[in-house]
Amino acid sequence: MNKIFSILKEKKSIPLDQFINISLYDKDLGYYIKKNPFGKNGDFITSPLISNLFGEMIAVWCVSYWEHLGKPKNISLIELGPGDGSLCVDLLKTFKQFKAFYKCLKINLLEVSNRLKKIQKNKINNKKVTWIKKINDINSGPIIFIANEFFDALAIKQIYKKKGIFFEKHVCLANNDKKIKFLLKKANVKLIKRIKSLNLISHGKTIEYPVEAIKFLSAISKKINKFNGGLLTFDYGSNVKRNQDTLQSIKKHNYSDIFSTPGQSDLTSHVNFVFFKDTLEKNNLNVQKITTQSKFLKKVGILERANILSKNVTFKEKANIFYRLKRLLDYEEMGGLFKVLFAQKKSKKFTLGF
């Protein structure tokens, strides 16, 4: 029997965040632990896999930020959830062009999946790159935290508001233990207090509470406050305050039923960028603006770079460069749906890309 069915049979019901954590990260069943979900033959594709220019622009941004900091002798880059390692490979390729920066650089990767770690190690193969187990392992800076589609892969709780009463979404078995379904349980006082104090409630019935992301934002903020630096994050999400059910399951590049194949499909939710900004500011950081992926990449110079690259190449190669760029930049696609946020130390004001 699938482990998740036996857990549900034993426990009767579990909160949604526990279900997500088991489905994605359980050592025997977890989607990210067992599978390599990336690319054409996987379940989904991310920006670094669409075009190398994505990583190139982030690399240029990092070098500019380092210059803005006064070219410190040591600079740490921490990539959160590096997937198949593609972004790190592209970053390193561009960093090597900036020799003074490259000399000062060390890179740490934070990855929960041993299977993905192995793929990253094979692909990256560079002495500057080492893996850390937790944010607390970092003890020097300044630090640039980079996250692409990291926060949307972390477990959330959902609280449903009906006639003024709050219910927490749980997951349980149905149909003679053959199926999984949602179960609404009255939310406990502590949870209601917590979502109220976090200022998570606005219009709409489903309140999403990013339990895991909050822990990361707190640990990251502490390190930035201590060592200087910032967090640059890209994610599918909204920059308008709203309460909406955004949980979805993706399999073979299509939406799938959340419960039909636990452990076999990706589960993600949109990042609430307004809440992230609020939280980071409460943690004493400065977030000047939330922008779109399209605006960010254009401001860093992606179109100019694409034009340079497409000189002296065949028509087919040029078409390929711009086809990929369109996927990254189109407003109806990743360009508009993905938002970008940069949180830095309160006294600092680096604005490239925003």
If one asks whether residue 340 binds ligand SAM (CB under 6 A), the answer comes out as: no
Please select the residue that binds ligand SAM; options are 16, 17, 26, 46, rule is CB under 6 A: 46
Amino acid making up residue 294: S
Site string for ligand SAM, 74-93 (x = CB under 6 A): -------xxx---x------
Question: Measured from the CB atom, is 75 or 267 closer to ligand SAM?
Answer: 267
CA distances from 239 to 146, 196, 244, 255, 292 (A): 19, 20, 13, 23, 9
Examine residue 43 and tell whether it contacts ligand SAM (CB under 6 A).
no
Distance of closest approach, residue 31 Cβ to ligand SAM, in angstroms: 9
Residue type, 344: Q
At 325, which helix (H) or strand (E)? helix 315-329
In the complex, least distance from residue 323 CB atom to ligand SAM, rounded to whole angstroms = 19
Among 48, 55, 263, 353, binds ligand SAM (CB under 6 A): 48
Other CB atoms within 10 A of residue 134 CB? 8
# residues near ligand SAM by CB under 6 A: 18
Among left, alpha and beta (phi > 0; psi -120 to 50; other), residue 165 is beta
Binding mask 96-135 for ligand SAM (x = CB under 6 A): --------------xxxx--x-------------------
Nearby residues of 48 by Cβ (< 8 Å), 6 or more positions away: 54, 55, 83, 86, 87, 90, 148
Q: x/- binding map, residues 130-169, to ligand SAM, per CB under 6 A?
A: ------------------xxx--xx---------------
Helix (H) or strand (E) holding 135: none
Decide: is 31 part of the binding site for ligand SAM (CB under 6 A).
no
**Pairing relation of β-strands 143-148 and 75-80?**
parallel
Contacts of 109 (CB under 8 A, 6+ apart): 78, 79, 82, 88, 117, 120, 129, 130, 131, 132
Q: Which is nearer to ligand SAM, 39 or 336 (CB)?
A: 39
Binding site for ligand SAM (CB under 6 A): 32, 38, 46, 48, 81-83, 87, 110-113, 116, 148-150, 153-154
